[in-house]
């Protein structure tokens, strides 16, 4: 047994016959994410799971991918309270996409709170994906939703992609590379997968003169 409760469960091999397992719990007042290491014999190796932290009040949507043997790269959404909405009488949150690398000792290679994948300060959609690169880093793609400036206008969703080196460096700028734009609601999710020997396959959608095109 890894945990007595969890959702958004993700797992990956550790490169040594075991696995890293991550999940989110519905803690009060906000969700939090956790990581555990299981060795090749099925033993849970950490007496307590590792709490994945960021700069915000909640961390969710944890995803894992293998890096070098004995190391895992994880990504998660970090929810930061930035203000108060007097109309709904509730907090306003910005959601940032963050990443970290952790080994079987529990050491955080990219700092206690990880690194920010993008410095875009708008709301980040909960839909994102990633794939390993050719040198133990990752490619990450995500969609950012920009609310309309006026009532009656449609949302604008921008898809971007970023490359993070095995040392935690953002290789494609502060906000990644621009891919496409979608105008309207319910934008299709981007999809990413590894391409051997290097690079990625990235499926996305865009709108052109009222028509939806797939690339």
The model's pLDDT over 131-157, given as tens digits with 9 standing for 90+, comes to: 999 899 999 999 888 777 666 677 788
Question: How many Å apart are CA 77 and CA 28, to the nearest integer?
Answer: 17
pLDDT tens for residues 19-43?
999 999 987 668 899 999 999 999 9
Residue 158's pLDDT is 87
Confidence of residue 13 (pLDDT cuts 50, 70, 90): very high
Q: Are strands 7-13 and 191-194 parallel, antiparallel or unpaired?
A: unpaired
Confidence of residue 87 (pLDDT cuts 50, 70, 90): confident
- Quick check: 188 and 169 in contact, CB under 8 A? no
pLDDT tens for residues 158-185?
889 999 999 999 999 999 999 988 887 7
Residue 26's pLDDT is 83
**Residue 206: enclosing H or E segment and its boundaries?**
strand 205-208
Residue 122's pLDDT is 62
Question: How many Å apart are CA 41 and CA 190, to the nearest integer?
Answer: 37
Predicted TM-score of the model (pTM): 0.87
Asked if pLDDT for residue 120 goes beyond 80, the answer is no
Whole-angstrom CA distances from 24 to 30, 87, 143, 149 are 10, 30, 22, 34
Residue 138's pLDDT is 95
> 3-state class of 21 per DSSP?
strand
pLDDT tens for residues 65-77?
999 999 999 999 9
């Amino acid at each position: 047994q890894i945990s007595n409760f969890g959702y958004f469960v993700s797992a990956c091999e550790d490169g040594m016959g075991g696995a890293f397992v991550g999940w989110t719990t519905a803690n009060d007042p906000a969700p939090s994410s956790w990581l555990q290491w299981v060795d090749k014999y099925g033993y849970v190796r950490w007496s307590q799971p590792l709490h994945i932290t960021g700069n915000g009040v909640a961390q969710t949507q944890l995803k894992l991918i293998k890096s070098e043997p004995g190391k895992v790269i994880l990504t998660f959404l970090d929810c930061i309270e930035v203000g108060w909405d007097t109309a709904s009488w509730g907090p306003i949150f910005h959601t940032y996409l963050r990443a970290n690398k952790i080994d079987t000792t529990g050491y955080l290679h990219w700092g206690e709170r990880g690194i920010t994948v993008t410095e875009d300060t708008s709301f980040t959609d909960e839909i994102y994906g990633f794939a390993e690169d050719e040198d133990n880093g990752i490619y990450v793609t995500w969609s950012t939703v920009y609310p309309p400036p006026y009532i009656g206008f449609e949302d604008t969703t921008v898809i971007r992609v970023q490359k993070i080196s095995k040392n935690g460096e953002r290789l494609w700028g502060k906000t990644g590379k621009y891919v496409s734009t979608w105008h309207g609601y319910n934008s299709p999710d981007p999809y990413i997968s590894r391409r051997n020997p290097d690079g990625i396959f990235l499926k996305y959608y865009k709108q052109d003169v009222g028509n939806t095109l797939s690339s």
